[in-house]
Structure 1
Amino acid sequence: MKHISILTGAGISAESGVKTFRDHDGLWEGHDVMQVATPQAFEKNPSLVLDFYNKRRQQLLAVQPNLAHQRLVDLETKFKVDIITQNVDDLHERAGSSQVTHLHGELMKVRSTFDHHLIYNWKKDLNLGDFCEHHHQLRPHVVWFGEAVPMMEKAIDILKQTDLLIIIGTSMQVYPAAGLIDFAPSSTPIYFIDPNPSISESTDVHIYAEKATTGVDKLVRKLLA
């Protein structure tokens, strides 16, 4: 069974109504991301940071997976499929994908500030005074700017073994995620789906310059034919 690795970014979830993390002006709902997405910000103003992620969590609960998420599940009927996502939403899982690696954490989980291995599923608001069993504050289970990306090694291992790579809705400009493409075996066929592709077509690179829902549907039909 051939192995397909899929890298997804904000573009696949945008069509579900999930706001991209940063608008063109670098703000998210009026906040500089450095005020709400760094360890220093959490230390300085934890209430603001928790409120920021509570709003994102509420928004995520109000949206559904779209056709692109759903069509990727169909690939599992014929291929071994690993999804590596930069997104913190759970739309891949809700659509039914069975192997999803979250590079930047998961919005629907929280973790202890005392022991980062203590991770809990969480759908409600997270507030000051919500503690782990060791009586330490819980924080969003997301990777903030300046923090290590703990799932990178797993993602690299996945890509080293891939037969085909699909990139959806990401500029491939943000590191370290952007460097993952270099770990795929040489001459691996790459399919890039994005309205504004940042790489050029070549012998191994095939471009679908369109939104995720239409591009993924076309590619899945092709691969399953």
Structure 2
Amino acid sequence: MPVLDRYFLMAAAAAGLTASLGVWQLQRAQTKQTLQASRDAGAGRAALVSLQGAEEHRHAVLRGEWQPAQQLWLGNRPHDRQSGFILVTPLRLQDGRWLWVQRGWHPRSQASFDPPPWPPTPAGQVSVRGRLARQASQVLALGEAAGAGGKGPLRQNLDPAVSPVAGAVMAPWVLWQLDDCAPLRCDWAPVDAGVAKHHGYAAQWFALSALSMGLYVWFRILPRRRQVRS
């Protein structure tokens, strides 16, 4: 019985491992495709008029009163390849709870890094249409700036569970406003489940698998055939 070439065993092991990682990435892509389909179905259903039965990415039209005294700017937020700020304002709902609303984006002035002036905020009862999410827009925050993102009207990130005033009960959602946000922009980028990323990773792993066997053929099989022919 012939002894197996140890280089073949090494190449086969490498090819098998990388191929299995490629299959794993395809499985992750399938899982995220299912999640994306669920999100799209949720967005296509009738908008909620309360937070009862709320789901992430579900559209809702909620009534309440703006609380502009506690609103914040989230800094360093790019949009259409331009740096800017995102305005988040709490909305006191009709059931008494407070909800953070991501109202819109404002470009940064070329002459200053300071946040822009506050835009006008309607008084009294308003209806706000948006998409429910667990968080507002997030950026990487380091050191003491992580978490709530500092103090004052300019923050890096927002912790939606932290009440801006004592005694306020926060709803566990952030409403990303979708219209009637002028002079701000609320044309948010579509939610991306990252399916293409996993397909790309799978292609790389399969390419490495093929490369492992290709190198074995190039350095072990072809030289032997050339010797036989000569």
Q: Which protein has the larger Cα radius of gyration, Structure 1 or Structure 2?
A: 2
TM-score (norm 1): 0.22
TM superposition score normalised by structure 2: 0.22
